[in-house]
């Protein structure tokens, strides 16, 4: 299994501090899932506001000669941890744990692991990324412009088109004027001719919430103007709430540490 398939569709998906964990089911009725965002520029978006998310489904990944599918399980504790497990035929091949300051990935098929910072994911995705950006991508949330930056806002059919620059990156987002949910995100770096585009579809309301959630995400990475990597993440089940989840992660004894990015 190519590790990029799991982390990218996360998606994309620990730190020096201990990740809090406990057992128990999510309480779908305890979520407050709508968090309207109104900026001075008139951007109106509805972002998720639950503490925990648990989901599972399939990811289909393409990169060069690789074309494969896998099952995945995703767990998120907002602003704290993203846990992702990928398996084929019921056998786990990859497990990843992201926290705000580090990335850990275990590849059981190759008996190797990676432990480092977000330069790892930035190289996999071909654009600089942070924990908050990965969390927003996985949850389909709008990413507000940084303080001091005024985004450009225009109408585009049934959507708001919002764009702004952040360092060397251009962020372009399409937001539904009806639901306030993000429909598409594009992050590009013109100088390096690379970009990452995520399109969201198959919106469904989650139990106990009034907020539509995208059950399907299509991710396309481009380098030099040509498609280099693509992945489709399709959820079959999603639960949200204020309950507790576990984020089990350990590096098996004897596994070799990777020092290079393998795409």
Please give the domain boundaries of the chain with CATH numbers for all domains: 3-250 (2.50.20.10)
pLDDT of 200 reads 97
CA separation for the pair 51, 219 (Å, rounded) = 25
Interval 60-101: pLDDT, tens: 888 778 788 889 999 999 999 999 998 887 888 889 999 999
DSSP 193: T
Q: What is the pTM of this model?
A: 0.81
How far, in Å, CA of 113 to CA of 251, rounded? 7
**In contact, 257 and 245? CB cutoff 8 Å:** no
The burial of 62, by beta-carbon neighbours within 10 Å (0-12 exposed, 13-18 middle, 19 or more buried), is given as middle
| pLDDT tens digit sequence for 102-161 | 889 898 888 999 888 888 777 766 566 789 988 998 999 999 988 888 899 999 999 999
pLDDT of residue 242: 76
> Is 182 in contact with 161 (CB distance < 8 Å)?
no
3-state helix, strand, coil in the chain (%, to 5): 10, 50, 40
Give the separation between CA 77 and CA 195, rounded to whole angstroms: 27
Report yes or no: 47 and 56 within 8 Å, Cβ to Cβ. no
């Amino acid at each position: 299994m190519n590790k990029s398939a799991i982390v990218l569709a996360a998606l994309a998906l620990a730190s020096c501090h201990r990740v809090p964990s406990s057992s128990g089911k999510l309480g779908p009725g305890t979520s407050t899932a709508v968090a309207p965002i109104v900026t001075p520029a008139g951007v109106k978006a509805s972002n998720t506001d639950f503490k925990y998310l648990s989901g599972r489904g399939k990811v289909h990944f393409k990169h060069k000669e690789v074309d494969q599918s896998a099952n995945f399980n995703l767990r998120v504790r907002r602003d704290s941890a993203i846990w992702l497990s990928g398996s084929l035929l019921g056998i786990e091949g990859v497990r990843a744990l992201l926290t705000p300051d580090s990335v850990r990935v275990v590849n059981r098929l190759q008996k190797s692991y990676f432990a480092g910072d977000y330069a790892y994911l930035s190289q996999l995705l071909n654009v600089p990324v942070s924990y908050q950006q990965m969390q927003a991508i996985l949850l389909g949330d709008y990413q507000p412009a940084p303080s001091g930056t005024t985004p450009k806002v225009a109408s585009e059919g049934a959507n708001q088109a919002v764009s702004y620059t952040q360092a060397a990156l251009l962020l372009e987002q399409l937001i539904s004027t009806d639901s306030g949910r993000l429909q598409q995100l594009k992050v590009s770096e013109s100088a390096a001719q690379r970009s990452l585009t995520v399109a969201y579809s198959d919106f469904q309301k989650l139990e106990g919430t009034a907020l539509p959630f995208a059950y399907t995400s299509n991710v396309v990475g481009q380098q030099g103007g040509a498609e280099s990597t693509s992945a489709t993440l399709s959820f079959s089940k999603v639960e949200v709430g204020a309950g507790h989840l576990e984020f089990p992660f350990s590096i098996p004894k004897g596994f070799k540490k990777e020092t290079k990015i393998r795409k």
